[in-house]
Amino acid sequence: QKEVEQDPGPLSVPEGAIVSLNCTYSNSAFQYFMWYRQYSRKGPELLMYTYSSGNKEDGRFTAQVDKSSKYISLFIRDSQPSDSATYLCAMSDYGNNRLAFGKGNQVVVIP
Amino acid sequence: DTGVSQNPRHKITKRGQNVTFRCDPISEHNRLYWYRQTLGQGPEFLTYFQNEAQLEKSRLLSDRFSAERPKGSFSTLEIQRTEQGDSAMYLCASSFPRTSGGWDTGELFFGEGSRLTVL
C-alpha cells in the first residue's frame, strides 16, 4: 500500500461547478498537507498548505484535513477553464523534507 | 531570476550512456530538492541539499545516481549507465526555509523539469 492514495481518474466539470478532490494516507506521522497544481509539461506549483487538522480557505480554494480519518480534501468553487490541470496532494511529517505525493487528478473544466 | 531553472529540458539517450542534469535554484534559496516523476504518477523524492550538504537520500537513488551541489548554488544530478526504467521527468525544487521546530515549512518552488528518454 502506498503512503498516499489519490484516485487518479480524470474529472470533467462544467464551468462554474464545484470541484472536489481528495486523498487518503496511511502514515499517522504526517502533519503537513499540501495541494499542488501542475499544468501540462510544467512543474508543480503550490496551491494550499495546511498544518495539522482543520480547514483553510484562499479565494475559490478550500483545503480540509481530517487527521482522525487520514483524509484530506480540496474544493474549487466557481471553477474556470484556467483551473484545468492536474492536482496533486502531498504531505510530510517534517515540512518540506521528503514530500509524499499522490498520483494526481486531471481536472478539465469545460466552458 | 524569476524561478528555478533546469537544463536540458529534454534528453534522449541510449541505454548505458551517462546523463547529467543541472538545476539553478532561486538565488537566495539554500534548500534544493530533486524529485522524479513518471507518467501518470506523482513526484517521488530523491534527495535534498541544504547549502552544499546533501542531507537525505531516498532508497530510489541507486548507486548509479549521484547528486552534487558543490558551492551551495546550482546542483547536478548524474545518472550513470542509464536504463530504460530511468525514463522520467526529473524535477528540481528550492526553498528558503521558514523553520518551525527546525523543519522547512517555506514554499517549495519547482522548476519545469528535465525529461529523460532512454532508448
Could you read off the pLDDT of A19-66 as tens digits, one per residue? 999 999 999 999 889 999 999 989 999 999 888 888 999 999 999 999
pLDDT at A8 over 80: no
pLDDT at A92 over 60: yes
Q: Which of A98, A103, A105, A106 to mutate to test the interface with B (most CBs of B within 10 A)?
A: A98
- How is residue B98 annotated by DSSP? -
Instruction: Give the 3-state DSSP-derived string for A19-81, with helices as H, strands as E and coil as C.
Output: EEEEEEECCCCCCEEEEEEECCCCCCEEEEEEECCEEEEECCEEEEEECCCCEEEEEECCCCH
Backbone angles phi, psi at A38, to 5 degrees: -130, 115
Contact A51 B111 (CB under 8 A): no
Q: For chain B, 119 residues long, give each residue's pLDDT as a single digit of tens.
A: 579 999 999 999 999 999 999 999 998 888 999 999 999 899 999 999 999 999 889 988 889 999 999 988 999 999 999 999 999 999 999 988 666 555 566 678 999 999 999 99
Q: How does residue A90 score in pLDDT terms, banded at 50, 70 and 90?
A: very high
Whether residue B2 lies within 8 A of chain A, CB to CB, comes out as no
pLDDT at A104 over 60: yes
pLDDT of B107: 78
Whether residue A30 lies within 8 A of chain B, CB to CB, comes out as no
Q: Which of B4, B110, B112, B117 to mutate to test the interface with A (most CBs of A within 10 A)?
A: B110
Average pLDDT, rounded, for chain B: 90
Which three cell numbers mark B44?
517521488
Contact A44 B100 (CB under 8 A): no
Consecutive H or E run containing A7: none
> How many angstroms separate the CA atoms of A105 and A21, rounded?
8
